[in-house]
Structure 1
């Protein structure tokens, strides 16, 4: 077979159809209709005729995209020599490619495993918090307060610390920083949440293996962190005296009068909304919680029968339904409220009236008007907040007894009932508390004490009317 030269190969012209041209022993050129010239190596291995197309086509010189005649001959000689030795170049090439692909895949898998191990070993407090929120905790407010408190006080300080490196000292520092700015109760609540989170994590992987020294919250003694005068049992004892109840009524009336008689209402303090005033008197006279009241619907208030039904879904811990028998005092407040919001589904509608008022709204309204007791995170006086009141118009008794809250109204009403000779058990029933005693008693004794509770609320309402007369 005559061997072709470079000039002869370069002179090969395309035809209507692709054709092959022998260039050397076992080496051909396939000339396409477009003019490209592809090298083909022919060889026999295991008694079978085989062909291999060299990836780079003919070129006068070898480069990254072309293969010269001389180099094509060398490649063909190499492939044919392997064939004579019983080795199929193409099979070996595929096997080599497969082996390389497996090697690369194994390396990638190993790298992924190493990265995962490294990530797992370096999971942070923030990672644990996110996992706990997803799978470990479900509170009535959809964890909103939990997210807020951790975002404000916990995660900025220790969120980026790996769990394996976290010690009691970092946790204690978080709580002490809160106590230093005067929020002892918030510090206790955060401690309780941290305790719950770490107890959950200690039972589950990968957190369990990261807590090599055990649960760091076991070493936190909150009584040594909070202020010495703070009552850890949270036995807040603020009650409003009769004089303060009268003062509160007078504040409401004075603010309303001053506002409506002012020549320029833009520069005078706006009075407390009538809806909020009704809320104050309803909480005081029914002993209800602020959340139960905020979620009340008009369909549950019977102004004719003087009854208010509170479904257990609205009750703290979903204890039980409660029917409140409205005294004349409470009923009058609901009637006043109905004039304001009776056109909606909610006794206390939120913005747009599509849902109830936020359960913290009234507490904020009352607290914002006692600014002298509010502190910033650094312990200094809290600065005015956007779209919020910032005055002391609802401070009672000159502030000598401290701030009062909506929950204090519930305590005040209960204490007044006690002073009026109403039994403690009946007061508990009016407050919808879980009564002490065996489950057997609660299982068999089902008298609803309706008339007794009706009389208790009537007596309280009469006393409030007497005070405010």
Structure 2
């Protein structure tokens, strides 16, 4: 017949005195209080480990921090685990490891991991823009929060003051936060995404296009560019971007080794393109003439448009924007708007829309069509570029453009 153990009372636990050697007071069903010579009292649970059938102890905590009643609750929980063949000590250790891992995977940590992956898909400028947006708006208040403890109300509260000033910024931040959460889900750093619908907490921003001028204003722009108090490099940069229809950062970062003068092609590597795909720009006589103009000034630099202070670095991607602002085009035209101007004029000429999109390095959703465009449109695009350069030269009245052939 099994020996019956009398349960402990609160008084017995409280009055238990230290002895020369440590001893145990049993409460039954594996729970015991170990009293040490120092006077400290420790709750232990003695059990048979599943599968190995070896005896083991697990510590629940010290008395009086852990009361008799709470120690019994822990005993019940441990016995329930054992009934499922789960070792309570191994279970607790795993929970501790998971907790440590979860608390170390903060938003900042996971975001930086995700950004390294994102950098393989976007341009360096775009990646920097993502980093700055997090540093300015999200990381100061949320950076140290474990990714698994983020919730929609908390993030929305952080975004609300920004929404009042810039709905477009909040739209981007909602999208970028969800990209981080999706990364966390796919890498096992989170088990759900509570932020999937946060964009619906804010008004949808009114879509604003990049400021640009009308086709009729192109002659005035070319005349203003001729008389503007700007450097030769900056003027050539603006005309280069206008003729080639590339993005500001792609134009500013142009390298001499990207240009094949014999084939009249400018091959922009994938890492410098927004969509991370190589883009080939057919060069017209006018753009080749621009290279002849700028080469004597920047032939010692690896960059076509060298920086003013350091020729081993390209001019800043915002150089054209600053110049246009000084030329009187503030809020009327930005460098990126030159692409819209080209698109409008070429569409008005009735040129095939797919060709124009290919010239602009826009990528559609149809992958098969994208592959066809990339493989087959080069010579057709060369004709479009010639048409566009001729239009610019005519608008400049021939002698006003540095790229006049």
Which TM bucket (shorter chain)? 0.5 to 0.7
Question: 1:355/1:112 Cα in 2 relative to 1: closer, same or farther (>3 Å)?
Answer: farther
Does the alignment pair 1:457 with 2:390?
no
Does the alignment pair 1:150 with 2:134?
yes
Q: Verify the 8 A CA contact 1:286 1:457 in the aligned structure 2.
A: yes
Q: Verify the 8 A CA contact 2:249 2:317 in the aligned structure 1.
A: no
Question: 1:83-122, aligned counterparts within 5 Å?
Answer: 118-120=99-101, 122=103
CA–CA separation in structure 2 for the residues paired with 1:225 and 1:112: 46
Deviation of 1:338 (Å): 1.8
Q: 269, 284, 288: which one pairs with 2:246?
A: 288
Q: Verify the 8 A CA contact 1:325 1:453 in the aligned structure 2.
A: no
Cα RMSD (Å): 3.9
Deviation of 1:194 (Å): 0.6
CA–CA separation in structure 1 for the residues paired with 2:114 and 2:367: 35
Does the alignment pair 1:277 with 2:232?
no
Question: 1:439/1:139 Cα in 2 relative to 1: closer, same or farther (>3 Å)?
Answer: closer
Deviation of 1:282 (Å): 1.5
Offset from partner CA, 1:218-270 (integer Å, 9 cap, x none): 1213583444xx22xxx7264322454344444444443xxxxxxxxxxxxxx
Question: 1:319-334, aligned counterparts within 5 Å?
Answer: 319-328=277-286, 330-334=287-291
Question: 1:165-180, aligned counterparts within 5 Å?
Answer: 165-180=149-164
Q: Secondary structure at the match of 1:353?
A: coil
CA–CA separation in structure 2 for the residues paired with 1:454 and 1:136: 32
CA–CA separation in structure 1 for the residues paired with 2:118 and 2:242: 37
CA–CA separation in structure 1 for the residues paired with 2:392 and 2:264: 17
Q: 294, 298, 303: which one pairs with 1:337?
A: 294
Question: 1:276/1:176 Cα in 2 relative to 1: closer, same or farther (>3 Å)?
Answer: farther
CA–CA separation in structure 2 for the residues paired with 1:319 and 1:141: 10
CA–CA separation in structure 2 for the residues paired with 1:461 and 1:134: 39
For normalisation by structure 1, the TM-score amounts to 0.55
Deviation of 1:340 (Å): 2.3
CA–CA separation in structure 2 for the residues paired with 1:418 and 1:253: 27
Q: Verify the 8 A CA contact 2:298 2:306 in the aligned structure 1.
A: yes
Question: 1:303/1:194 Cα in 2 relative to 1: closer, same or farther (>3 Å)?
Answer: same
Deviation of 1:137 (Å): 6.7
Deviation of 1:277 (Å): 1.5
Deviation of 1:174 (Å): 3.2
Corresponding residue for residue 126 of structure 1: 108
CA–CA separation in structure 2 for the residues paired with 1:187 and 1:444: 34
The structure whose Rg is larger is 1
Question: 1:366/1:223 Cα in 2 relative to 1: closer, same or farther (>3 Å)?
Answer: farther
Question: 1:242/1:119 Cα in 2 relative to 1: closer, same or farther (>3 Å)?
Answer: same
Question: 1:135-214, aligned counterparts within 5 Å?
Answer: 138-140=120-122, 143-182=127-166, 184-208=167-191, 214=192
Deviation of 1:418 (Å): 1.5
Corresponding residue for residue 80 of structure 1: none
Q: Verify the 8 A CA contact 2:107 2:146 in the aligned structure 1.
A: yes
Corresponding residue for residue 257 of structure 2: 299
For normalisation by structure 2, the TM-score amounts to 0.63
Corresponding residue for residue 315 of structure 1: 273
CA–CA separation in structure 2 for the residues paired with 1:249 and 1:456: 20
Unmatched tracts of structure 1, length 5 or more: 1-102, 209-213, 257-271, 371-391
Deviation of 1:409 (Å): 0.8
CA–CA separation in structure 2 for the residues paired with 1:164 and 1:253: 58
Q: Secondary structure at the match of 2:134?
A: helix
Question: 1:187/1:417 Cα in 2 relative to 1: closer, same or farther (>3 Å)?
Answer: same
CA–CA separation in structure 2 for the residues paired with 1:444 and 1:164: 43
CA–CA separation in structure 2 for the residues paired with 1:323 and 1:136: 25
CA–CA separation in structure 2 for the residues paired with 1:435 and 1:154: 31
Q: Verify the 8 A CA contact 2:264 2:283 in the aligned structure 1.
A: yes
Question: 1:132/1:463 Cα in 2 relative to 1: closer, same or farther (>3 Å)?
Answer: closer
Does the alignment pair 1:393 with 2:321?
no
Question: 1:441/1:274 Cα in 2 relative to 1: closer, same or farther (>3 Å)?
Answer: closer
Corresponding residue for residue 202 of structure 2: 224
Q: Verify the 8 A CA contact 2:364 2:370 in the aligned structure 1.
A: no
Question: 1:39-54, aligned counterparts within 5 Å?
Answer: none
CA–CA separation in structure 1 for the residues paired with 2:375 and 2:116: 40
